[in-house]
Amino acid sequence: MNLAEAKALAKEKIHTRPNTCGRLGGKIAIVTGGAQGFGFGIAEQLYSEGASVVLADINEELAKTSAARLGERALGLKVDVSNPQSVEELVIDTVAHFGGIDIFVSNAGVLKAGSLEDLTPEQFAFVTKVNYDGYFYCAKYASEIMKAQHEADDEKWFDIIQINSKSGLTGSKNNFAYAGGKFGGIGLTQSFALELVDYHIKVNAICPGNFYDGPLWSDPEKGLFVQYLNAGKVPGAKTIEDVKEFYLSKSPIRRGCTPEDVAKALFYCVEQCYETGQALPVTGGQTMLK
């Protein structure tokens, strides 16, 4: 199946999909980076509210295993979001399996911390390719299917949601590659929203605080606690616990963000039909809009 055939199938299936119970009953969602961490937590919440969910991840084996944990309405597929052909294939395979796309959650991301002196051009390009270019590829191909569905039913609304970061709202010392891409992601969100609203496609970003229990932060070899300690990001920190306490102290609520916190923001984005182009903080008060 090619993209044109996928668009035709999505138009054909828009009125014949099986319905399920829940707030998102009958909807079809893709979550990139969905095999573990925030991505899996978000996919789990979407599934629990009745959506059929594709867990898309560069780790295909883990994506399939995680999908099996959810149930028969979940599917694990491989994707490399830094590769436009891979993203296009993900969209086509999703339509072939489920019949369309209602919600696309662009969650996959990477981080390399380091100073201007230490971070290499290759590391900077890697982070940007995944976090910034990857979001563009996801929005590009997902919107093709959503536009086709709009042609078949101009009453329905569809959603592209980027899982951004509090680092997309304020600068981050020794973390400029990540923060710069996330700032850029909000620019893309606002621009995509203006372009796609006539097709009933809402585009919003959610900016979570730190998910300390996930592998991004807690991996003992590559996690951010280790990276930030080694990069000297936290003044005076001697141990990982010093780094963690420093970040916990930044939030008035004094805990990390969870997938459940992000899911509540995501449900808001999907359920309302009078908001687009927004960057919604979910930071426990650590980052407040001005």
Catalytic hit among 47, 135, 178, 247: 178
Pair of tokens at residue 167: 């680092």
The DSSP 8-state label assigned to residue 167 in this structure reads G
Pair of tokens at residue 53: 């969910």
From 92, 94, 97, 191, select the one nearest 135 (Cα to Cα): 191
| Block residue for tokens 């696309």 | 104
Using CA atoms, how far residue 236 sits from 19, 46, 241, 250, in Å, is 55, 41, 12, 16
**Strand-pair partners of 205:** 162, 279
Residue 206 near residue 167 (C-beta atoms within 8 A)? no
The DSSP 8-state label assigned to residue 129 in this structure reads I
178 is catalytic: yes
Pair of tokens at residue 106: 């662009």
Cα(26)–Cα(134) distance, integer angstroms: 27
Note the helical H segments in 80-213.
Answer: 84-98, 121-128, 134-152, 176-196
Task: Read off φ and ψ for residue 201, nearest 5 degrees.
Answer: -110, 115
Residues involved in catalysis: 178
